[in-house]
Amino acid sequence: MKRLFWLLVAVLLASLGLAQQTRLRVFVGGQQRPDVMRKILDLYQQRNPGVRVEIEVGGATSDQQQQYLTTVLASRDPSIDVILIDIIRPAQYLASRWADTIDKYLPAASRQALLRQYLPAYSQANVINGQLVALPGFADAMFLYYRADLLEKYGFKPPTTWEEAIRQAQTILQRENNPVLNGIGFIGAPVEGTVCTFLLPIWASGSDVTNAQGQFTLTVEQAQRALQFWVDLMDQRVSPPNMAEKPQDTIRQEMQAGRWVFGTLFAYAWNRFQNDADSQVKGKIGVVPLPAFAGGRQASCLGGWQWVVSDFSRNKAQAHRLVRFLSSPEVSKILAIEASNLPVFPALYRDPDILRVNPWFAQALPVVQAARARPQHPRYSEISEVIRVTTNQVLARQKTPEQGAREIVNRLQAIYSGR
Amino acid sequence: MAQQKPRYRRSLGDLSERALAFWLLLPAALLLGLVALYPVARLFYNSLFRRRLTDETGFNPVFIGLGNFTQALSDERFWTALWNTFLIVLVTVPGALVVGLLLALLANLPFRVRWPVRLGLLLPWALPLVFAGLIFRWFFDSQYGVVNDVLVRLGGERLLWVTTPELLFWAICITIIWKTSSFVALILLAGLQVIPKELYEAAAVDGASRWQSFWRITLPLLTPALLVAAIFRTITAFQTFDIPFAMQNGGSSFETLAMYVRTTSIENLNFGYGSALAVLMFLISLGVTLLYLRYIRGADD
């Protein structure tokens, strides 16, 4: 009887202990290396025995993840505490009141000190209307990946202008005479990455969707030239005619199977090319900043992922502590080494441990610093839809570049004027 | 001493038949009200407001009366989506009925081993719509797809099925017909099996050909089943969403009404306008259903 009593006491205490543990749930996308995130969270759990963190893995693309998250957040579901969101979303999260802003837990002075540590693009992307919506997890930008072995074989240096890249691709395709080899791969399916495809030539020519004051400035002519550039690549047979079918990861997989000379992809591709078991191009890939137009400037598309606390979380204080850890230099370094995610702290681009695994990070810093951000707007989803669907239709030859450009400019104008 | 009835039986026994029916139906009615009536009523209510989750109206909706509906009437994208939806109905409903009828006739043949045929019938029906969409998306892929592979082997050219609008439309229709004709076949098979064999025997004695007995016996007796199948098929065809959505990678070059509703509310967070579009879709479905019901009643009389 006595033994039973003590057993009961033990069970009671154990359950009290369990009850005191905070459970947090973190949402990351399938392409954001949940395996590496798990290691990082295990580290956090070791240091904070009172906290258990679960991972929920979402869809592979930014759009798929947000479709799911919209359902969760619009219904005020408290089950997710911390979310990794794409750089284009903070404005929407603030407008929809889905984010528990970081400011509440940060005195103004330390907020300034914290934000100064990050690459300026990321502090800017996360401060909307003066409020700190999220904290950066890792940086990203588009790069030009190339087949170093093929370029070397024909005595080419990595291209610095698009004209050069096109010439090199044409020569290599002609001489190699390999039916499965293609020239320049770019994202053309109606997915988020196609917004970057559309904007790259616009940025490279020095214009943008809005001016510094956020007023809409894009002209039909600028849009048309951008669309024409990609259509020309298909006409010149540097890119195959089915580019409208290709999302980013298809290009990555095909390049990994040795089917592309050049690919415009985000930073995650490097790690896959070098480390995936099925990679046919291990050690054969080089990476450089995206080319410029002759006489123009080089421009890349800014990517990157941010940690945000859900406004419906029941453990906001704990969730904020976790977000501070996840956006720390320590985690940025782990992500750089294990997932080749670009760091959000400038100093880490010179870190010897990171450079040993990713030697190309040494040249990546200026690219990330010069990369341009897609428009920040609470109705970004609509802006993105207009751009990616129309660009896709132009690439699919359903619309001429001129029709597409008119449509994009008209519809964006309507969104910017609040209609 | 007379045995006492259990309490519940006593109180139920005291009820009149009408009252009993009321209490028995109440749970189902409540449930239906909760999951069907309330959301539909809420939808109608929401459709009268400007409500975007991307600005202040997400929290303080502004009443605009029928503003969303007048916007829809002048919205080119709405009309395109409506037209696309009609095209899908126009092609896939008769398509599924014809293919379904053929399948049902095939499955009704006196095979010794019937289960492979019936399994083949059930499989597409049991498959989730999105899967069907994704599978056919791969079939029609210009580079890796089996359809183009066959075309090339037959000496044809590679076609860009998914990104050429006309081809995409037919690819979507083929997929929908493949997916839905098995449902039609199941209904028709049930219809076929209740047709008495004696009729065919009598027809054979009278010297009717198989073709004649199909037109004179099978088809007329199958009409009620065909109608039921047509109603169900039409209603689901008006709601077509999954297959075109999955086949376009989330794009919207070919957009049905249901796809437009989803993009407006879930992606663009414009719940007021999205609700209005959904209401319009609801009204159209309701209209079609009433039309059919009327026709059936007419046929019964």
Complex-level ipTM: 0.76
Whether A160 maps to a domain, the answer reads: yes
- Helix (H) or strand (E) segment spanning residue B103: helix B76-108
CA of A93: which chain B residue's CA is closest?
B54
* Residues of chain B with C-beta less than 8 angstroms from the C-beta of A74: 53, 269
Q: Taking residues A365-374, what's their average pLDDT?
A: 88
d(C-alpha B77, C-alpha B85), whole Å? 12
Same structural domain, A172 and A251: yes
Whether A8 maps to a domain, the answer reads: no
Distance of CA B197 to the CA centre of its chain: 32
Query: Is the confidence at residue A376, as pLDDT, over 70?
Result: yes
For residue A157, count other CB atoms closer than 10 A to its CB: 10
For residue A111, count other CB atoms closer than 10 A to its CB: 16
Query: Is the confidence at residue A226, as pLDDT, over 70?
Result: yes
- Whether residue A95 and residue B53 make contact (CB cut-off 8 A), yes or no, is yes
Same structural domain, A240 and A378: yes
Whether A2 maps to a domain, the answer reads: no
Q: What is the pLDDT of residue B158?
A: 86
Whether A4 maps to a domain, the answer reads: no
Cβ neighbors of A56 (< 8 A, separation 6 or more) are: A25, A26, A27, A28, A80
Q: Does B4 touch chain A (CB under 8 A)?
A: no
Task: Give the model confidence (pLDDT) of B18-46 as tens digits.
Answer: 888 899 999 999 999 999 899 999 999 99
* Structure tokens that stand for A371 in this block: 């990369």
d(C-alpha A244, C-alpha A390), whole Å? 11
Same structural domain, A121 and A195: no
Cβ neighbors of A215 (< 8 A, separation 6 or more) are: A416
Task: Give the model confidence (pLDDT) of B129-159 as tens digits.
Answer: 999 999 999 999 888 899 999 999 999 888 8
For A158, phi and psi rounded to 5 degrees? -55, 135
Q: Are the beta carbons of B161 and A396 closer than 8 angstroms?
A: no
Whether A3 maps to a domain, the answer reads: no
d(C-alpha B253, C-alpha B165), whole Å? 7
d(C-alpha A286, C-alpha A342), whole Å? 16
Whether B26 maps to a domain, the answer reads: no
Task: Give the model confidence (pLDDT) of B255-289 as tens digits.
Answer: 999 999 999 998 888 999 999 999 999 999 888 88
Same structural domain, A230 and A240: yes
Provide the domain limits for residue B128. Answer: 63-300
Whether B150 maps to a domain, the answer reads: yes
Q: Are the beta carbons of A309 and A320 closer than 8 angstroms?
A: yes
Whether A9 maps to a domain, the answer reads: no
Interface of A with B in 61-90 (CB under 8 A): 63-64, 66-67, 70-71, 74
CB-CB: which of A63, A96, A397 is closest to B53? A96
Question: HSE of A365 in the Cβ direction (CA atoms, 13 Å)?
Answer: 13
Say how many domains are in chain B.
Answer: 1
Of A289-303, A305-319, B277-291, which has the strongest mean pLDDT? A305-319
Same structural domain, A83 and A160: no
Task: Give the model confidence (pLDDT) of A169-221 as tens digits.
Answer: 999 999 999 999 999 999 999 889 999 999 999 998 888 999 988 899 999 99
Q: For chain A, how far is it from start to end, CA to CA, in angstroms?
A: 75
Output A13-21 pairs: Cβ under 8 A, ≥24 positions apart. Answer: A20/A50, A21/A50, A21/A51, A21/A52
Same structural domain, A251 and A106: no
- Helix (H) or strand (E) segment spanning residue A215: none
Q: Taking residues A292-300, what's their average pLDDT?
A: 84
- Whether residue A67 and residue B266 make contact (CB cut-off 8 A), yes or no, is yes
* pLDDT confidence band for A20 (50 / 70 / 90): low
* Residues of chain A with C-beta less than 8 angstroms from the C-beta of B55: 95, 378
Min mean pLDDT across A112-126, A130-144, B199-213 is at B199-213
Task: Give the model confidence (pLDDT) of B173-230 as tens digits.
Answer: 999 999 999 999 999 999 998 888 888 888 888 888 888 888 888 888 998 899 889 9
Whether B149 maps to a domain, the answer reads: yes
Measured between alpha carbons, how far is residue B229 from residues A285, A340, B82, B220, B226 in Å? 57, 55, 23, 15, 5
Same structural domain, A55 and A94: yes
3 state SS of B153: helix
Whether B239 maps to a domain, the answer reads: yes
* Residues of chain A with C-beta less than 8 angstroms from the C-beta of B162: 245
**Helix, strand, coil percent content, chain B, rounded in steps of 5:** 75, 0, 25
The CATH number assigned to the domain holding B182 equals 1.10.3720.10
Distance of CA B118 to the CA centre of its chain: 21
Task: Give the model confidence (pLDDT) of B81-139 as tens digits.
Answer: 999 999 999 999 999 999 999 999 888 887 777 778 778 888 888 899 999 999 999 99
Average pLDDT, chain A: 91
Whether B47 maps to a domain, the answer reads: no
d(C-alpha B72, C-alpha B67), whole Å? 9
Closest Cα of chain B to A252: distance in Å? 16
Same structural domain, A133 and A146: no
Same structural domain, A117 and A248: no
Query: Is the confidence at residue B171, as pLDDT, over 60?
Result: yes
Provide the domain limits for residue A265. Answer: 141-301+374-416
The CATH number assigned to the domain holding A228 equals 3.40.190.10
Say how many domains are in chain A.
Answer: 2
Task: Give the model confidence (pLDDT) of B48-84 as tens digits.
Answer: 999 998 888 888 899 999 999 999 999 999 999 999 9
Q: Does A181 touch chain B (CB under 8 A)?
A: no
In which residue are the tokens 């794009």 written? B251
Query: Is the confidence at residue A14, as pLDDT, over 70?
Result: no
Q: Does A410 touch chain B (CB under 8 A)?
A: no
Select the more confidently predicted residue: A360 or A136: A136
Closest Cα of chain B to A124: distance in Å? 20
Whether B52 maps to a domain, the answer reads: no
Question: How much of chain B exceeds pLDDT 70, in percent?
Answer: 94
* Residues of chain A with C-beta less than 8 angstroms from the C-beta of B58: 95-97
Dihedral, B222, B228, B234, B239 alpha carbons, nearest 10:
-140
Best of B46, B52, B54 to substitute, by most chain A Cβ atoms within 10 angstroms, is: B54
User: Which has the closest alpha carbon to A208: A342, A302, A315, A143?
Assistant: A302
Task: Give the model confidence (pLDDT) of A35-93 as tens digits.
Answer: 999 999 999 999 999 999 999 999 888 888 988 999 899 889 999 999 999 999 999 99
Closest Cα of chain A to B244: distance in Å? 14
Whether A11 maps to a domain, the answer reads: no
Query: Is the confidence at residue A254, as pLDDT, over 50?
Result: yes
d(C-alpha B244, C-alpha A213), whole Å? 40
Interface of B with A in 127-156 (CB under 8 A): 141-143
Q: What is the 3-state secondary structure (H, E, C) of A151-164?
A: HHHCCCCCCCEHHH
Same structural domain, A197 and A157: yes
Query: Is the confidence at residue B294, as pLDDT, over 70?
Result: yes
Same structural domain, A404 and A284: yes
Whether B57 maps to a domain, the answer reads: no
For residue B72, count other CB atoms closer than 10 A to its CB: 20
Closest Cα of chain A to B16: distance in Å? 43
Closest Cα of chain A to B230: distance in Å? 33
3 state SS of B49: strand
Query: Is the confidence at residue A235, as pLDDT, over 90?
Result: yes
Query: Is the confidence at residue A274, as pLDDT, over 90?
Result: no
Instruction: Name the DSSP class of B2.
Output: P
**Rounded to 5 degrees, what angle do the CA atoms A405, A406, A411 make?**
100
Q: Taking residues A301-326, what's their average pLDDT?
A: 95
In which residue are the tokens 């001493």 written? B1
Tell me how many residue pairs between chain A and chain B have CB atoms under 8 A apart: 84
- Whether residue B160 and residue A241 make contact (CB cut-off 8 A), yes or no, is yes
- Whether residue A398 and residue B253 make contact (CB cut-off 8 A), yes or no, is yes
Min mean pLDDT across A106-115, A135-144, A298-307 is at A106-115
Q: How many residues does chain B have?
A: 301
Strands (E), A1-134: 22-29, 51-58, 82-86, 127-128, 131-132
Best of A245, A249, A377, A410 to substitute, by most chain B Cβ atoms within 10 angstroms, is: A245
- Helix (H) or strand (E) segment spanning residue B18: helix B17-32
Q: Does A342 touch chain B (CB under 8 A)?
A: no
Q: What is the pLDDT of residue B18?
A: 86
Whether A271 maps to a domain, the answer reads: yes
Whether B72 maps to a domain, the answer reads: yes
- Whether residue B143 and residue A242 make contact (CB cut-off 8 A), yes or no, is yes
Same structural domain, A154 and A254: yes
